[in-house]
Structures are given as C-alpha cells and as structure tokens.
Structure 1
Amino acid sequence: MEETRILVTGAAGFIGSHVAARLADLGHGVLGCDNFNAYYSPALKHDRVAALLAPRQVDCVTVELADAKQTSSLFEAWRPTHVVHLAAQAGVRHSLRDPGSYIQSNLVAFSHVLEACRQQRVQHLLYASSSSVYGARTQIPFHEDDRTDEPASLYAATKKANELMASCCSKLYGFPATGVRFFTVYGPWGRPDMAYFSFTESMLKGERIPVFARGELLRDFTYIDDIVEGVARLLFKPSLSPEGQPGHAVFNIGNHRPIRVLDFIATLERVLDVKAELELLPMQPGDVPATCADTSRLREWVGFAPATSLDEGLARFRDWYREWISGDRTSSARQAGA
C-alpha cells in the first residue's frame, strides 16, 4: 500500500496549522509550507508552528507558491499523494486596499499548485474556497448549487475563480479536486484581524469596538475543530463524476446556525465577563448581509456536520487567549487541543 504523503499549504496559518496537526495525529506523513507574510504578525505564525506542528514532527518550510519554480521544486521533493491547499491572501476588506496581493496569492499561486498536482498525479486536491462566493444573497441557508456569479469583493471573486480553475483542471487532467467553502471560522490560534479576536483584545483593554452595519449582520460562526473534522473526512473521500471518474465538488463547512453580530457580542460579553463599548458604524463595502451554510451535502457524503455551540467555542478561545497573552505557549497549546 502506497504511503500517504500530505502537503498542507498555508500550514502556519490558522486553519492550516490545525489541519496539519490533525492529519499528523491520524498517522499520516505531513509536510507544511507557508510564505510567512506580514499580513498579520509572522510571530503568531511561528508560534503556531512551534506549538502545534513541531511537537508532531511536522516540518513547515518557507515557500512562495506564487513562484512557479519554488512550487515545482517543493512538489518534486515531497511528491505528495494528497494536497490540502489552504494558503491564500485572506480578508474581505483588505482586498479593497491591496488587490494585487490577492491576484498573486489566490490566482497565480493556485495555478502553480494545480499544475504541480497534474505533474505529480496527486490522488486528491482539497482546497479552501469561502462562503464569500455566495455574495450578497439574503435567502438562507446557502446551498452549494446556489448561484455564485455575483461576488461582493475581489477576495470572493478569487475564491470563485479557484473553484472554476479546479473544476476545469480536474476534468482535463483526471485528478479529483474538492473545494470547501468555510464559514466564519473562529477558535484558538486564530487570526487577529477576525472580529472575535480583535473584539476580545479591545474589550479586555476597555476600548470601543467597531461594529459595522450597526451589528445587524448575520454570520455563521464555525469552530475550528469542526472545520478540521470536515476537511479530514473529505480528504480521503474524493467525489466522482456521474460517469464514475475522478471529479470536482464543493462542500459547505459551516455551523448552519447564523447569529446576529450584536448577539455574538452579547455572548462574548458573557464569556469574558466584560461589558463591550460599541462604536456603531454603517455597512462596509465588500461586506454581505448574511452567511448561513446548508450542510446537508457534507453530512450525506461524510456523515458529519459542525455542531459546536458559540458559547462553548468562545469559552475555549478565551481560555487559549488568556494563556497566550500571558506568554505561556505550552499551556496555550494544550488549550487548543494540541
């Protein structure tokens, strides 16, 4: 039986570090890569590697996937059987300020990964899409077959382009590919630019928090462990075309319980035992009014759908955050389930 060799791109990132750690715990050979860019503090990325990957003997090499030669060399050296492509330039609002970084990281780099998968004849490519592809839809929940041709931001447009590129290459070159549409992921070792993280920092400092659309937006907050479980199950169950050939499919991974941002803040207040001071602001360009995942396809295919409650997930994040800011990286790794 061929050894399973998994490449996880973006392995120093929030989702990538958790996925790489879980796959290693399952006994698979895992190599991570990341470009360690400065979209947010690279120190946090190195902390994730030290706390989540190093104890599991998972290396995370520095690679710029937007460089075709670096990508090709990485694949030739590791020869992965499976690829989990999570490297990307994240952030809806940032795409309004620095669109070029999204073209390079989300389109150019992805084209290089697709070509390397073709050259290496990988058994399965699983890649990160986003709930953002659904655009400004107000009819919820979102199903994978809903229209996704009106993105509200460049970030969303690049993620939709990823789905089209992967579908095309899967059909042309005969390797299965799966896109996973993540819905507002949160939890330990998260991204500092995400609301739950930045709100926690500001609330504990007694600072006001900016609340866009006056807190009326609906978001489908999904705990990181549920995301990881869905990815791990999908990776080893690629979809087939109606003809029984390797195919392309997309799956929502969300908590399918949308929560109003003001109610989310109320939950965070209870968890932190701190009253938030709000700065109510209008809706921002690129934002969408609601996200909510229909997870019936995921449940039917792999027998799982996210179910962690917001109270439970935020409490775990709180415990991790307190340890992390205290400088106790060992304890914060334990809080994250490492």
Structure 2
Amino acid sequence: MPLNRRYVLGGLFVLAGLLASVLLQSVLGTVFFAVTVAYVLWPLRRELVARGQSRRIASAGATFGAFLMALFVFVPLVVVVYFRSDSLVALLGLLPDDLAISLFGFEYALTLEAVSEFTILVIERAARRAATAAPVLVIKVTVFVFLVYSLLFYGEDAQRAVIALVPSAYHDAARALNDRARETLFAIYVLQAATALGTFVLALPVFFFLGYEAVIALATVSAVLQFIPIVGPSVLLAGLAAYHVAVGELLRGVAVFLVGGFVIALLPDVLIRPRLARQTADIPGSLYFIGFFGGVLTLGPIGVVAGPLAVGLFVESATLLSRELHPGESAALADDDARSGESTEGPSDSA
C-alpha cells in the first residue's frame, strides 16, 4: 500500500472519529470508561482464550467479571443502609426541637420541623431527578456492557487496524504507548480499590476512639464514598460533625471533622495513591497526584481515569524521546538495570 494512501486513510479515520465524538458526545464518558475497562480486562480475556475457551465465551466471562466487581463496590453501601436504617432514625430522634446558632453577633434559630421539611424537599427533588435519569442510565449501562464485550471480542482486529495506520518505523513506539496505557489503567483501578481498602482500615480506629458504636458500618460507607471523586468520605464526616453540633456536642463535632478529615479523607490520597502509583505504573507520585486531582477538577468523574492516563502517556513519550536523543545513555542504563537484577536474583543458574 503506498504511503500516501495510508496517510489518507488515516486522516479519514481521524475525521470519522472526530465526527463520531461530536454526534455521540452525550455518551463519550461511557465510551471512554468502556475502553479503559476493556484495556484492564484484556489480560483476563487472553488468559481464558489460552486455556481453551472460545473468543465469545472468554469475552463474555471477562465482561461478567467486571460487572461483579462493580456490584462488589456498591453492594456493601446498600447493605449498610438497609441494616442501619433504624439506627439512623433513632439518631434523628435525638435532635432537639429548636437549635439556636450564634455567628458574628447574629443568632439564627432552626427548628427540627423546618430541617425535616427541607430534608424531605431535597430528597423528593433527588428522587424525581433519579426517576427522570433512570432510563438514560439504563441505556448508558447497556451501551457500556455491549461496548466492553465488543472491544474484548474484536480486540485483535482493532489492534491490527490501529497498528496498520502507524508507519513501520514507529511500531515500537506505538507498542510502548499501548503497554504504558494498559499498565497505567490497571494501576488506576487497582489504586482506587487499594485506596478504598486503606480508607476502611484507617477509619476503623478513628471511629472507634471517637466513641461510635457502628464502627464497621461507618468505615464501610467511608470506603465506598472514596470511589466518588472530590466528595469522598468528606460528606459523611461533615454530616456527622453537623449532627454533633446540632445536639450540643461541639467538641466532638470538631474532632470528627478535623481528625476524621485528616486521617480518613486526606491520608489515603496522600500516602496510598502516590506510593502505589510509583510501584505499579512507574509514575512519579507527584505527577500522579497532579494528574488525579487535575483531571477530576477539569473533567469531573471521568478525570479520575483520564488525568493519570494522560500523565502516564506523557511520561512514556518523554522516555521514548530521551531514548531517541540519547541512545547510548539509554543502553547503558538498561545494562545497569540488567546487572542489578542479576545481582539481586543471586547465582541460581550456576547450580
């Protein structure tokens, strides 16, 4: 195939992609998450095929595994709310009928009836919005599942099509970027799960020493809320602090908000994410930190994945450029890494 014809077809491919992104912009987030999940599930699908399963069964099994993982994230929250609903009602019953708040010389009087009416109004509005968005959500979930399955089923064809558009001299760079994207996406989802688990572990002693009875339930809710960008466990801690202030426990409310906010809401993002990012995706912790929060603040929920992924591809591009500009130094560094690996493994082959 002539090179000019390849460039023309590649340009048509890019234009068609841009046109599709404009026409399908309402589901772009769903498509993006589906592509990233398919990237993460690809090794599982390939392993199932290697064990003798057909492409159809392997793709369906990997997709079903992703569905189970999603249920595993949100089912604990539903279970906690179901079994602790009586305790929540009992806590609300302890609120005083009248609450006076003094700020900057002004006094504000709140009644339990007014707070209840406002809460009911907010819940009703949220319920109406959820009912209105439910059909759209069902459609997006259906698109997500079918797209993940299709990407897994036709994965080899898609890879060959993309590689064919890349000139042969750049195949190594394309494969390096592809590997970096897969490793980064795997690390992102593993980091999210590890951060939620770390949040659960850190929340247990905090809620215990603060005198709460439902320690496991509160720690579980904190861990699940870690999957919600920006908000996270902070909304739970703010609600607990507001409740303690309402019942006259000012010091306890301040302790929950400050101590809990530092240990439960802040420490997992500061300690767990950067450390594991360096170990799993070979991304400096500071760059991952910037990518995570920058992506969330710029793109919203999709930035949880898009931000670190952009940072990972940037790091890999810088590595490729460095190797191209300084091939001798890259070869020397590779030899040093190989020698250090041999020294740590020991003389096992000599036996």
Name the TM-score, length of structure 1 as normaliser: 0.24
Please say which structure displays the higher CA radius of gyration.
Answer: 2
Choose between structure 1 and 2: higher helix proportion. Answer: 2
